[in-house]
Chains A and B, each alone.
Chain A
Amino acid sequence: MAYSDKVVDHYENPRNVGTLDKSSDEVGTGLVGAPECGDVMRLQIKVNPTTQVIEDAKFKTFGCGSAIASSSLATEWVKGKTVAEALAISNTEIVKELALPPVKIHCSVLAEDAIRAAIGDWKKKNNLAEQAAPQHDLVGAVN
């Protein structure tokens, strides 16, 4: 199977690889997937408590090239966004950007899950109510 140039680029030059201090209140950690499924993503965000802007994001992923690319792209996209804006990122946008084939769509879903899980963790730490997930079709209309 041939990979798109963008998947290859993220695989060869993954953005924002690393680890943030998960004990910090400003940091939210999302760990999604399972080793036996062949995909585990950990996405971390550092949120400015006053502006709710995601100031930093890091990831580590165990998985195929498409999974690595999806999570690498997710860190790029959430950086600089507010928490609310980041929640609006949908897997279909990731599929489009990376030109993922149908068998790799689950990688994009996992990346979206990772963003949500990281934000959820940050909210929990800061006693903020969970927001309802946005409608996927509305998000799709953005592109």
Chain B
Amino acid sequence: MSTAAVELLESTPVHTGVQLPIYMDNHATTALDPRVLEAMLPYMTKIYGNSASRNHQFGWEAEQGVDKAREQIAKLIGATSKEIIFTSGATESNNLAIKGVAEMYREKGNHIITQVTEHKATLDACKRLEKNGYNVTYLPVQADGLVSVDDVAKAITDRTILVSIMYANNEIGTVNPIQAIGKLCHEKGVLFHTDAVQAVGKIPVNVLTDNIDMLSLSGHKVYGPKGVGALYVRRRNPRVQLSAQIDGGGHERGMRSGTLNVPGIVGLGEACELAMNEMESEAKRLSGLRDYMKDKFLNALDYTYVNGNMDHHLPNNLNISFVYVEGESLLMGINDIAVSSGSACTSATLEPSYVLKALGLGDDVAHSSIRFGLGRFNTREEVDYVSDKLIDTVLKLRELSPLYEMVKEGIDLEKVEWTAH
């Protein structure tokens, strides 16, 4: 081989074709799929009518776009199009479902059941209701992150009007036993809401077979636009009624007033159709990449633990604790990669992740956790780059870690007298 060729070979980076920075935080948000954008564009320029304008073509065309989207969304979750209420996103959907049911069924009861690992949109809506005289049960989760159906059953009283349990968790990717919880709720005559933002479009979700009465979903988690979401509200067996939280022109069957975000809705519809068509192959591809990455970590590093339950898991999620390395310092070493950490230092509150703590993980382990959210646009090359770089950084930081050294020397960290500050 010529010298030039050797030089070229040696100077070739190990990872070719990887464009930096790499986005691997797809539980936070996803990129807009170009095909979704294409579907939306006409509704931002030519078809700008108000879908509520019933007396001219501009309105009709906009309404047609909305109707199509309603069908696309309904089809993805096994609903009918009349059961889809458009909102500004899943936070609003959760608020509408929980507060709307609480107000509407106040005569029937004042007890709501949820779980401690819900998204803040659910937890804070429940906290608001507590201030207004409602009782809320926050169920614990098991060490694997799943809620127990038995615990739900035991918590239901004759005053219970609503159970709100998320489909899949945004941090640890666990998928709850939704079908069984829904069945239980239907048997007990209690309404069942699920925040399904992380599940819809990623795994099969069907409101009929899953016995779901209300379901929140969001555009930007499924490669659609931000600022648009939907709430599925069951129309029969049982017919769910909600007290509107936004008053106005009586849009969306009176449940959510406000001129519809037509381009956003069209985008959400298109995103749902794409997700449905590609779900099976994409879930297989992503879980393959995820497992490949997980195995690389576990083979290369000791004291490394997977959080959640890999048998009931989103295909795109991996949450790992790299014990004895602090999460924020780890993120600093991989600053050309976008992931999330359970570390306190990355949050505004300086508290480590409440989800990880709910699993019974010590604060020290929670501080050491990284969430990977794989997505439609991640490649095998990117997964290699990310895992190699992460492994290098963990090894480097463990060289720096007094805890790792102490553990290697056989010191029991539990027995050390720490000076808490």
Q: Is A113 an interface residue (CB 8 A)?
A: yes
Q: Is B171 an interface residue (CB 8 A)?
A: no
Residues of A within 8 A of B402 (CB): 31, 40-42, 60-62
Kindly supply a per-residue 1/0 record for chain B positions 408-421, scoring 1 wherever the CB is within 8 Å of any chain A CB and 0 otherwise.
Answer: 00000100101111
Question: Smallest Cβ distance from B161 to chain A, in angstroms?
Answer: 39
Give the residues from 343 to 387 in chain B that come closer than 8 angstroms, CB to CB, to chain A: 343-345, 350, 352, 362-364, 367
The residue among A14, A38, A60, A103 with the most chain B CB atoms within 10 A of its own CB is A38
> Nearest CB to that of B420 among chain A residues?
A34
Q: Is A109 an interface residue (CB 8 A)?
A: yes
Residues of B within 8 A of A33 (CB): 418-419, 421
The residue among B344, B362, B402 with the most chain A CB atoms within 10 A of its own CB is B402
Kindly supply a per-residue 1/0 record for chain B positions 322-358, scoring 1 wherever the CB is within 8 Å of any chain A CB and 0 otherwise.
Answer: 0011101100110000000001110000101000000
Report the interface size for chain B: residues with CB under 8 A from the other chain: 29
Known: A11-B329, A11-B332, A65-B332. A38 touches B364 (CB 8 A): yes
Give the residues from 35 to 77 in chain A that come closer than 8 angstroms, CB to CB, to chain B: 35-42, 60-65, 67-68
CA distance A68 to B421 in the complex (A): 17
> Nearest CB to that of A35 among chain B residues?
B364
Q: Is B158 an interface residue (CB 8 A)?
A: no
CA distance A10 to B203 in the complex (A): 44
CA distance A40 to B405 in the complex (A): 12
Q: Is A32 an interface residue (CB 8 A)?
A: yes
The residue among A17, A36, A41 with the most chain B CB atoms within 10 A of its own CB is A36
CA distance A42 to B419 in the complex (A): 12
Task: Tell me if B405 and A110 are in contact (CB < 8 A).
Answer: no
Task: Tell me if A34 and B332 are in contact (CB < 8 A).
Answer: no
Task: Tell me if A38 and B343 are in contact (CB < 8 A).
Answer: yes
Residues of B within 8 A of A36 (CB): 362-364, 367, 418, 420
Task: Tell me if A34 and B326 are in contact (CB < 8 A).
Answer: no
Question: Smallest Cβ distance from A39 to chain B, in angstroms?
Answer: 7
Q: Is B401 an interface residue (CB 8 A)?
A: yes
Residues of B within 8 A of A62 (CB): 324-326, 400-404
Residues of A within 8 A of B419 (CB): 31-34, 113
Kindly supply a per-residue 1/0 record for chain B positions 391-407, scoring 1 wherever the CB is within 8 Å of any chain A CB and 0 otherwise.
Answer: 00000000111111100
Question: Smallest Cβ distance from B150 to chain A, in angstroms?
Answer: 31
CA distance A85 to B326 in the complex (A): 32
Task: Tell me if B350 and A14 are in contact (CB < 8 A).
Answer: no
Task: Tell me if B363 and A35 are in contact (CB < 8 A).
Answer: yes
CA distance A63 to B402 in the complex (A): 10
Task: Tell me if A39 and B362 are in contact (CB < 8 A).
Answer: no
Residues of A within 8 A of B332 (CB): 3, 8, 11, 64-65
Give the residues from 8 to 27 in chain A that come closer than 8 angstroms, CB to CB, to chain B: 8, 11, 14, 17, 19
Q: Is A106 an interface residue (CB 8 A)?
A: yes
CA distance A27 to B128 in the complex (A): 57
CA distance A39 to B324 in the complex (A): 10
Residues of B within 8 A of A17 (CB): 399-400
Task: Tell me if A38 and B367 are in contact (CB < 8 A).
Answer: yes
Question: Smallest Cβ distance from A140 to chain B, in angstroms?
Answer: 21
Task: Tell me if A60 and B418 are in contact (CB < 8 A).
Answer: no
Give the residues from 116 to 139 in chain A that come closer than 8 angstroms, CB to CB, to chain B: none
Task: Tell me if A40 and B329 are in contact (CB < 8 A).
Answer: no
Task: Tell me if A37 and B420 are in contact (CB < 8 A).
Answer: yes
> Nearest CB to that of B362 among chain A residues?
A36
CA distance A116 to B20 in the complex (A): 43
Give the residues from 5 to 24 in chain B that come closer than 8 angstroms, CB to CB, to chain A: none
CA distance A64 to B326 in the complex (A): 6
> Nearest CB to that of B323 among chain A residues?
A35
New contact pairs (16) apart from A38-B363, A62-B324, CB-CB < 8 Å:
A8-B332, A11-B333, A19-B405, A33-B421, A34-B420, A36-B362, A39-B421, A40-B403, A40-B418, A60-B401, A61-B401, A63-B329, A64-B343, A106-B421, A109-B421, A110-B421
> Which A residues are closer than 8 A to B by beta carbons?
3, 8, 11, 14, 17, 19, 31-42, 60-65, 67-68, 103, 106, 109-110, 113
Going nearest first, the 5 A-B pairs with the smallest beta carbon separation are: A34-B418, A35-B364, A36-B363, A42-B402, A60-B402
Can you list 28 A-B pairs, Cβ within 8 angstroms, ordered by A?
A3-B332, A11-B333, A14-B400, A17-B400, A31-B402, A31-B419, A32-B421, A33-B418, A34-B419, A36-B363, A37-B363, A38-B352, A38-B363, A38-B364, A60-B400, A60-B402, A60-B405, A62-B402, A64-B326, A64-B328, A64-B332, A64-B345, A65-B332, A67-B329, A103-B350, A110-B421, A113-B419, A113-B421
